[in-house]
Structure 1
Amino acid sequence: MRKSEHKGLFITLEGGEGTGKTTLIKRLQNALDEEGFASVATREPGGSPLGERIRQMLLSHDPTISIGSYAELLLFLAARAQHIEEVIAPALERGEIVLCDRFNDSTIVYQGHARGLGMSAVQQLCLSACHGVVPDITLFLDVDPEIGLARTKGVAKDQASEGQVDRIEREEIAFHQKVREGMHLLAEQEPERVHILDASQSVDEVFQQAWSLITQQLQRR
């Protein structure tokens, strides 16, 4: 995938459900703040008012609403196009570091590979939607889907709300295995950009490995 041309640094975190992306982003942003770097932490789907509305549509578990695979894909892309225009691109132009919880790779593996729409076809649609903005570095938090899903259910239980488990988290284990498989395929295709981190390790261990990769990237700027 081609590289973006911008003043800032675009870092994406990818992985299946319950891999710890949100926790890691918070720690990375705190570390960047301590080092004096201006940063923006955001997420997909979401990140903008429109994106957050689409997120509710995509992830809410409403048995009265059916979303087809292609409609799902286009909703993700619509949210991303707005997110880039409103949040990501302006931050990068200001020279800031953007930390994004999911981006194109999630769409390519969830909709392209796990939903069966085709990774190459979905990748081309993603490139069209992202206005030439692509990650400089991607951290793929890898864990067995059964472990990750158990974590998400544990969080929902702690929050005393079954509704905390979203529509995609409710998919069969085979679907989540396909997501993991797809991410490994992307990592093999783009080893310079996509770095695999073992998310079964402790939070501190994952953070230290991620921070080391990011500081190396910062030194190259």
Structure 2
Amino acid sequence: MQALGKFIVIEGLEGAGKSTAVSIVSEAIVAAGHVLVNTREPGGTAMAEAIRECVKADWPDEKVTIEAELLLMYAARAQLVQNVILPNLQQGNWILGDRHDMSSRAYQGGGRMIDSEMIESLRRITLNGFEPDLTLYLDVEPKEGLKRAKGRGELDRIEQEDLSFFERTREAYLAMAEQDQNCVVINTMQTLPEVHHDIQLAIKQYLEQ
């Protein structure tokens, strides 16, 4: 069945301002008269939320392998897409996702340097070509993003990685954004009013299409 709603995703490193962007975009979509469902990844269903806790937790007695981390991310995504995203899109509802597949390709592919063929295999199995209609990538310099993230509280297992990990992740994000015609890059190193303006402009232009 062809999807009738639209799937919009907010992407970015820690400290990029995704929560604020989600709020701005949500308001615009609802004001345009659409029924909106918000999701987050990993998470969004009971099982996927349990996987989220598993992924983000510290496991002091064992090493979390990069392969296990990757597989858990796609397991959670499969649950969310099949149980929440696709059914709502087919009903004509709009979905706004706080992260989606680009995150795995950036964090596990770029940051963890996992072989791209392994990731592509999982993408084919779990997504079968399903992609967002619009992605807003909030670009922030990793050092500044981590500084902002630390200011809001305790960091989880992935957020505690070293700076080079996030630099590789950002490079992967930027490379993907350049190749994705449905991705808009928002520079979050600007002033807050400028960032908010650019987000509002991006969603306004999309809604007017």
Query: TM bucket by the smaller chain?
Result: over 0.9
**Hey, what does 1:139 align to over in structure 2?**
136
SS of the aligned residue for 1:100 comes to strand
Matches within 5 A, 1:1-221: 5-156=2-153, 164-190=154-180, 192-220=181-209
* Equivalent position amino acid for 2:61 in 1: T
* Equivalent position amino acid for 2:68 in 1: A
Deviations 1:4-33 (A, max 9, x none): 951111111111111111221022212322
Distance in 2, matches of 1:103 and 1:64, equals 30
Distance in 2, matches of 1:182 and 1:56, equals 25
- Residues 104 and 123 in structure 1, CA contact (< 8 A), matched pair in contact too: no
* Equivalent position amino acid for 1:11 in 2: I
* Structure 1 stretches of at least 4 aligned residues deviating more than 4 Å after TM superposition: none
- Residues 5 and 89 in structure 2, CA contact (< 8 A), matched pair in contact too: yes
Gaps of 5+ in 1: 157-163
Tell me the matched-pair count: 209
Distance in 2, matches of 1:215 and 1:99, equals 15
Gaps of 5+ in 2: none
Deviations 1:27-48 (A, max 9, x none): 2212322332211111000011
* Equivalent position amino acid for 1:174 in 2: S
Shift of 1:78: 0.3
| Greater displacement, 171-180 / 198-207 | 198-207
RMSD of equivalent CA atoms: 1.7
**Hey, what does 1:159 align to over in structure 2?**
none
Query: Which TM-score applies when normalising by structure 2?
Result: 0.93
Shift of 1:120: 4.8
Shift of 1:94: 1.4
SS of the aligned residue for 2:85 comes to helix
SS of the aligned residue for 2:152 comes to helix
